Amino acid sequence: GAGVSQTPSNKVTEKGKYVELRCDPISGHTALYWYRQSLGQGPEFLIYFQGTGAADDSGLPNDRFFAVRPEGSVSTLKIQRTERGDSAVYLCASSSGANVLTFGAGSRLTVL
Partner 1 sequence: GESVGLHLPTLSVQEGDNSIINCAYSNSASDYFIWYKQESGKGPQFIIDIRSNMDKRQGQRVTVLLNKTVKHLSLQIAATQPGDSAVYFCAENGGGSNYKLTFGKGTLLTVNP
Nearest-approach distance from CB 41 to partner 1, in angstroms? 6
d(CA 17, CA 21): 13
Q: Is the dihedral of CA 98, 101, 89, 44 positive or negative?
A: positive
CB under 8 Å to 10, separation ≥6 — which residues?
107, 108, 110
Q: Does 88 bind partner 1 (CB under 8 A)?
A: no
Question: Between 14 and 43, how does the x/- string for binding to partner 1 read (CB under 8 A)?
Answer: -----------------x-x------xxxx
Which range touches partner 1 (CB under 8 A), out of 17-25, 65-73, 75-83, 104-112?
Answer: 104-112
Q: Does 74 bind partner 1 (CB under 8 A)?
A: no
